[in-house]
A = this chain, B = another copy of it.
Amino acid sequence: VNSKKTVPTKTLGELADYIGGEVKGDPDRSIRGAATLENAGEGDISFIANRKYLPHLSKTKASAVIAGQDIEAPADLIITEDPYYGFCRVIVLLHGHRPHVKCGIAANTAIDKTAAIGKDTHIHDFVAIGRGARVGNECVIYPGVYIGPDTVIGDNCILYPNAVIYDRCILGNDVIIHANATIGEDGYGFATHQGEHHKIPHIGRVILEDNVEIGSGCAIERGALDDTVIGKGCKIGDAVVIGHGTKVGPHCLLVPQVGIAGSTTLGHHCVLAGKAAVGGHIKIGNGVVIGGGSGVANDIPDGQTVFGYIAFEAGKAKRAYMSIKSLPDMRSRIRSLEKRLAELEKK
């Protein structure tokens, strides 16, 4: 089973035209697959976007390489401004995104009579859709998905197996939910009274705007009173948890295992690296970058990059965290200073 065998062949010239690049080499060269510099072979195209991979470039067996500028390489080149994006488009052209089985409405589903299903939408076996729910056109709903009552799903969405969308949530167009993700479960909200924790009804919803992708095993809590909102174009990795009422601005990247507590707001184009955590009731500006494993306990202004457990400005923070290594040495130097100073003071 190798997806490369069935892909159509393109010439280097066709690919360059498609991505708006310039060929340096033979435009008639035939390209049938995309691969990394290390693993590419005859007929493959690869890319270089980072000087760190120059050693791989010099040894690549690729027939062609997409690069940001004219560069010494044992292969033909396509030169384009954004080689990684160009390469992404070439992979789409050559290999395409995952094809989906066109099953129509499968025989063995549990779709409430009052639910509305759009045109060219394919619903696999063992899918349950609640009353009043609406699913748009050209969606693919994989086996075992649950769509709760009154939930509304836009056009061209893909819900992978066993994804669960609770009631009254709203998904825009072109939304992808990966397997075993949960959208709209009750948030972590309890009123503690005389030692017992009383469940707060969650009357808010989850709203996923257009082009959002949610990774496997994610849990996006619905709001207690206000909605939880994931802005358009956000890409959320596996096993991310978003708290109730939190608003994530458009085009944010939340890498796997990130956690954001409730009632927090993020601006647009933020990047939270793996396992980063943000507390509740915090305001994160636009374009903020939070380093891997960091813990954010305070507001962060626009454009700042932070790092650390109790995160602060990343340049300083990385130096500070690297210095932890020296702590035992610093202690012994302080002890030695104290001893020497006491000696001097005695004199």
Contacts of A124 in B (CB 8 A): 110, 128
Instruction: For the complex formed, measure the closest distance between the CB of A3 and the CB atoms of chain B, giving whole angstroms.
Output: 5
Is the CB of A225 closer than 8 A to any CB of chain B?
A: yes
Is the CB of A154 closer than 8 A to any CB of chain B?
A: no
Does the CB pair B310–A322 fall under 8 Å? yes
Does the CB pair A198–B85 fall under 8 Å? yes
Given known A-B contacts A239-B239, A251-B197, A341 and B338 have beta carbons under 8 A apart: no
**Interface size range on A against B:** 35 or more
Is the CB of A96 closer than 8 A to any CB of chain B?
A: yes
Contact of A161 among B125, B164, B292, B312 (CB under 8 A): B164
Given known A-B contacts A85-B193, A256-B243, A330 and B334 have beta carbons under 8 A apart: yes
Give the interface segment out of A10-18, A21-29, A31-39, A70-78: A31-39
Given known A-B contacts A319-B328, A330-B331, A340-B345, A34 and B162 have beta carbons under 8 A apart: no
Instruction: For the complex formed, measure the closest distance between the CB of A191 and the CB atoms of chain B, giving whole angstroms.
Output: 4
Contacts of A186 in B (CB 8 A): 98, 178
Q: Which of A264-278 contact B (CB under 8 A)?
A: 269, 274-275, 277
Does the CB pair A253–B197 fall under 8 Å? yes
Cα(A10)–Cα(B269), bound, Å? 44
Contacts of A198 in B (CB 8 A): 85, 88-89
Contact of A197 among B233, B274, B295 (CB under 8 A): B233
Nearest opposing residue in chain B for A218, CB measure: B217
Instruction: For the complex formed, measure the closest distance between the CB of A20 and the CB atoms of chain B, giving whole angstroms.
Output: 11
Does the CB pair B126–A128 fall under 8 Å? yes
